[in-house]
Amino acid sequence: MQYDPIQQHTPAAEQPHLAQVRLEADMLRGAVIATGIQYVIRAIHTAAMRFSRTAA
């Protein structure tokens, strides 16, 4: 029986791949959170500008 690297699924071999997937997921999550924060800040800024115009 010959060694087939594709059929060799050991936890040690999968660890680097899982670490990379987790890193990419964390980066994506961070980008989504940052975009959401920017959206909220822009919305608050727009509302404040409208409020200051109507109050003046």
Q: What is the pLDDT of residues 1-56, one digit of tens each?
A: 455 555 556 666 667 888 899 999 999 999 999 999 999 999 999 999 999 988 76
Q: What is the pTM of this model?
A: 0.59
CA 2 to chain centre: 41
Cα separation, 56 vs 38, in Å, equals 27
Q: How far apart are CA 47 and CA 41, in angstroms?
A: 10
pLDDT at position 36: 98
Distance of CA 43 to the CA centre of its chain: 21
Residue 14 confidence (pLDDT): 64
Token couple for 54: 């109507």
**What is residue 8's predicted lDDT score, i.e. its pLDDT?**
59
What type of residue sits at position 51?
F
